[in-house]
Structure 1
Amino acid sequence: MTQLAHTALGELTTPALLLDSTVLERNCEAMAQRAAHHGVALRPHLKTSKSAEVARLATRGHSGAITVSTLAEVDYFARHGFLDLTYAVGISAGKIDALHRIQLAHAARVTLLADRVEAVRAAAARARAIGATFRLLIEVDTGGGRGGVAPDDEEALLAIAAEVQRSGSLTLAGVLTHAGHSYHAEGLDAIRAIAETERAGAVQAAGRLRAAGFTVDTVSVGATPTAVCAERLDGVTEMRPGVYTFFDLDQAARGICEIEDIALSVLATVIGHNPRSRRVLIDAGGLALSKDESAAEFRDGLGFGLICKADGTTPLAGLRVAELHQEHGLIACDGDSDGAAQAMFDALPVGSRVRILPHHACMTAAPYDRYHVVRGTGASVYAVWGKAHGWHAAGPGA
């Protein structure tokens, strides 16, 4: 972390990624309280922030255990002292060497994920060849349809567990599921139902393994919507939400958070007016904002992000990022008249700064290498926080 002598937002080179630490801390504390209420451990997914400073806030008062999704994140967080990491992407044998190097270099514990015997067999063989050992979770599909074994597919569950047991290099840790389909559920009642299906499926899979004589210490669930809406988590040992640290328009559109809970925004500069198209040009395009329009599934009028004044995060009525090119964004206003356009030009003069609230914080934050950290509606940056980016760990094969 780099401390700054309160650099003014107007001095930053744009586009810049802004993070409101006041909102961030509030979001982290609220999720920690939810986990405590349910009696489960919180293993936050840091793929959203990829930042050690955010991780310290998200794990404050807890074990320090985290979830990650790239080799770069495993490497980065281990170097920053986070030594209990679940790598929550199905394992491929080609990543075993890098993970082993990280474990050795930092005395870390990396837990793997798999949902097929073939993947377990290949990873285990490579681990044996280099003298590595890992814990492994079996991925369970509780409705997302992305990856995982059905919770009632006893044959597949037991086959994977047996392959782990005889591998000599892997140890069965338990089961893991992710209700990613909760991001498409309309209404909190629907999300509550998915949360219960997620919980019940993971517990069912764990029960089948235990009944067959396997030790299951970890029953892991995780998605921000279900973590917020779950009414019970009995039988679960940990939850792994991630985007709750920042929140975004996607979460606000479905009622998981309010606009004032969004901690992340992109600072951009107004670089032009186009009276012919009635657009304001900014220097934040598809790479700076991402082209994710996920919140549009539940709320109209969001474009590719909402526009706020530089010193706050209250959306300006009727303005949105309407179009994106690689390095250009085009702001439009409601109404299709010269008068409405002129009012927008007057409100956003060339050279002025705006903040944009993103649809999906994870996608927006990913390309950046740092956060410019602010407090509340202050117009200055008090710190710069680094972060991981890319996919590869340092070292051979990077």
Structure 2
Amino acid sequence: MQEILETPALLLDEARLQRNVERMRVRMDRLGVAFRPHVKTSKCLEVVRRQMAAGARGITVSTLKEAEEFFRAGIDDILYAVGIVPNKLHHALRLIREGCRLTLLLESVVMAEQVARHGAEHGVCYEVMIEIDTDGHRSGVKPDDPVLLDIAAALQGGARLKGVMTHAGASYDCNTPEALAAMAEQERSRCVAAATLLRNGGHACPVVSVGSTPTALSASHLEGVTEVRAGVYVFFDMVMADVGVCTTDDIAISVLCTVIGHQADQGWVITDGGWMAMSRDLGHDHHGYGMVCDSDGQPVPELGFGKANQEHGVLQWRGDAGVDLTQRFPVGGSLRILPNHACATAAQHGQYHVIPQNGGDWPVWPRFNGW
């Protein structure tokens, strides 16, 4: 099938996808928490249906377009896990009025006041979570900051505090089981501490939501946590392999490209898969723009991918100088690239060409982009 695909093309290995979904299901069941997958990785209904079938309780999104697309498909329990701002409130309001159980996220008194006022003005009560910074990686309120109580107090009338949420993005910088376990415990304990501060201050805080793929797969227990979120686990990628929570055999997506030429004196193999097909995300910068594999998905360690133009991938031969690259990698031949960051690479494409786990024709699963 891949011989007739026009390249570059995004491939999805259904068997690996299903194995990854099942692995997370088993782990969440063992930890005794609800699971709310982050669907920004796939942005694909066929993928999310498999996650829901495996017991997911609602979804996490990073854009209101994702919320709208999946709500239209029948999923109505949605956490929008990016800080809400005024120019998005009418979009959120429209979804809620149509029946979507949309939860918003914020981290400031100013935004809490605006959300509560907007809800009161339009006759709705927004469900709101406060983002907690448990690792200094990105956004959120420190778990011991008294401003948490001020934010909760501002959620009156047109808004209601639902809980606290955190994302241990710093886990992507870990690379040993010990470091991952420590980060998972830091994420858990600090988010639970924030919930405790709020409860002691007289505010109901029923939901304690944590999550990243590395911490979800590394936590020893999740006492005090009610739900976990993770996204990239569904596909995995080279960053997750570097972190140590998967192997290259678990990575479910790859970009199929075609050899279009050579620069023999430079030791280069040129493909039609440039950074527009892969994204510019270099991950941990160990693999250039991705790991080069043969047409069957087996790594070719002698080929590096350290240079890319918009529509050209420039692969560098690092093996035996006597190899004839024009014979080893002929024009018209196929190669596959494992991505550094599955979310970013998938975002360069409009569909997945699915390698079916039971053989037969390759279906095409649509995905969407945008906001």
The TM-score by the shorter chain falls in which range?
Answer: over 0.9
- Could you tell me which residue of structure 2 aligns to residue 3 of structure 1? none
- Could you tell me which residue of structure 2 aligns to residue 170 of structure 1? 159
Paired residues of 1:269 and 1:283 also in contact (CA < 8 A): yes
Provide structure 1 residue ranges, at least 5 long, that are not aligned to the other structure.
Answer: 1-7, 392-398
Paired residues of 1:251 and 1:295 also in contact (CA < 8 A): no
User: 1:62 Cα deviation (Å)?
Assistant: 2.0
Paired residues of 1:109 and 1:134 also in contact (CA < 8 A): no
Q: Distance in 2 between matches of 1:129 and 1:73?
A: 26
Q: Does 1:184 align with 2:173?
A: yes
Q: Distance in 2 between matches of 1:351 and 1:63?
A: 42
Q: Secondary structure at the match of 2:365?
A: strand
Paired residues of 1:18 and 1:265 also in contact (CA < 8 A): yes
- Could you tell me which residue of structure 1 aligns to residue 152 of structure 2? 161
Paired residues of 2:279 and 2:348 also in contact (CA < 8 A): no
- Could you tell me which residue of structure 1 aligns to residue 195 of structure 2? 206
- Could you tell me which residue of structure 1 aligns to residue 293 of structure 2? 308
User: 1:367 Cα deviation (Å)?
Assistant: 2.4
User: 1:352 Cα deviation (Å)?
Assistant: 1.3
The amino acid of 1:325's aligned partner reads N
- Could you tell me which residue of structure 1 aligns to residue 90 of structure 2? 97
User: 1:115 Cα deviation (Å)?
Assistant: 0.7
The change in CA–CA distance for 1:246 and 1:61 in structure 2 (over 3 A counts) is closer
- Could you tell me which residue of structure 2 aligns to residue 389 of structure 1? 369
- Could you tell me which residue of structure 1 aligns to residue 73 of structure 2? 80
- Could you tell me which residue of structure 2 aligns to residue 35 of structure 1? 28
User: 1:11 Cα deviation (Å)?
Assistant: 1.7
Paired residues of 1:313 and 1:377 also in contact (CA < 8 A): no
Alignment of 1:230-249 (within 5 A): 230-249=219-238
Q: Distance in 2 between matches of 1:225 and 1:143?
A: 14
Match among 243, 259, 279 for residue 248 of structure 2: 259
Match among 46, 50, 66 for residue 39 of structure 2: 46
Q: Does 1:322 align with 2:306?
A: yes
Deviations 1:47-87 (A, max 9, x none): 11111111111121425400000121111111111110100
User: 1:276 Cα deviation (Å)?
Assistant: 3.2
Q: Distance in 2 between matches of 1:233 and 1:83?
A: 26
User: 1:383 Cα deviation (Å)?
Assistant: 1.1
Q: Secondary structure at the match of 2:302?
A: strand
Q: Does 1:141 align with 2:121?
A: no
Q: Secondary structure at the match of 2:301?
A: strand
Q: Secondary structure at the match of 2:182?
A: helix
- Could you tell me which residue of structure 1 aligns to residue 346 of structure 2? 365
Paired residues of 1:96 and 1:127 also in contact (CA < 8 A): no
The amino acid of 1:135's aligned partner reads E
- Could you tell me which residue of structure 1 aligns to residue 102 of structure 2? 110
Match among 325, 329, 347 for residue 348 of structure 1: 329
Q: Distance in 2 between matches of 1:388 and 1:123?
A: 28
Q: Distance in 1 between matches of 2:162 and 2:52?
A: 21
User: 1:127 Cα deviation (Å)?
Assistant: 3.2
- Could you tell me which residue of structure 2 aligns to residue 295 of structure 1? 284
User: 1:381 Cα deviation (Å)?
Assistant: 5.1
Q: Distance in 2 between matches of 1:15 and 1:184?
A: 30
Paired residues of 1:371 and 1:386 also in contact (CA < 8 A): yes
User: 1:376 Cα deviation (Å)?
Assistant: 5.4
What RMSD, in angstroms, separates the aligned Cα atoms of the two structures? 1.7
Match among 18, 26, 33 for residue 11 of structure 2: 18
Q: Distance in 1 between matches of 2:358 and 2:308?
A: 27
Q: Distance in 2 between matches of 1:373 and 1:381?
A: 9
Deviations 1:175-209 (A, max 9, x none): 00000000012312111101000000011011111
User: 1:128 Cα deviation (Å)?
Assistant: 3.2
- Could you tell me which residue of structure 1 aligns to residue 59 of structure 2? 66
Paired residues of 2:118 and 2:158 also in contact (CA < 8 A): no
Identity %: 44
Match among 101, 117, 124 for residue 116 of structure 2: 124
Q: Secondary structure at the match of 2:230?
A: coil
Moved more, 61-70 or 189-198: 61-70
Moved more, 180-189 or 118-127: 118-127
Paired residues of 1:113 and 1:136 also in contact (CA < 8 A): yes
| TM norm structure 2 | 0.96
User: 1:211 Cα deviation (Å)?
Assistant: 1.1
Paired residues of 1:9 and 1:381 also in contact (CA < 8 A): no
Q: Secondary structure at the match of 1:173?
A: strand
Q: Secondary structure at the match of 1:229?
A: coil
The amino acid of 1:237's aligned partner reads T
Q: Distance in 1 between matches of 2:203 and 2:21?
A: 34
RCO higher in structure (CA 8 A, sep ≥6): 1
Aligned length: 371
User: 1:46 Cα deviation (Å)?
Assistant: 0.7
Q: Distance in 1 between matches of 2:362 and 2:337?
A: 20
Paired residues of 2:115 and 2:126 also in contact (CA < 8 A): no
Structure 1 stretches (4+) deviating beyond 4 angstroms? Answer: none
User: 1:216 Cα deviation (Å)?
Assistant: 1.1
Paired residues of 1:72 and 1:388 also in contact (CA < 8 A): no
Deviations 1:113-159 (A, max 9, x none): 01101112223333333334321001000013311111111x21100
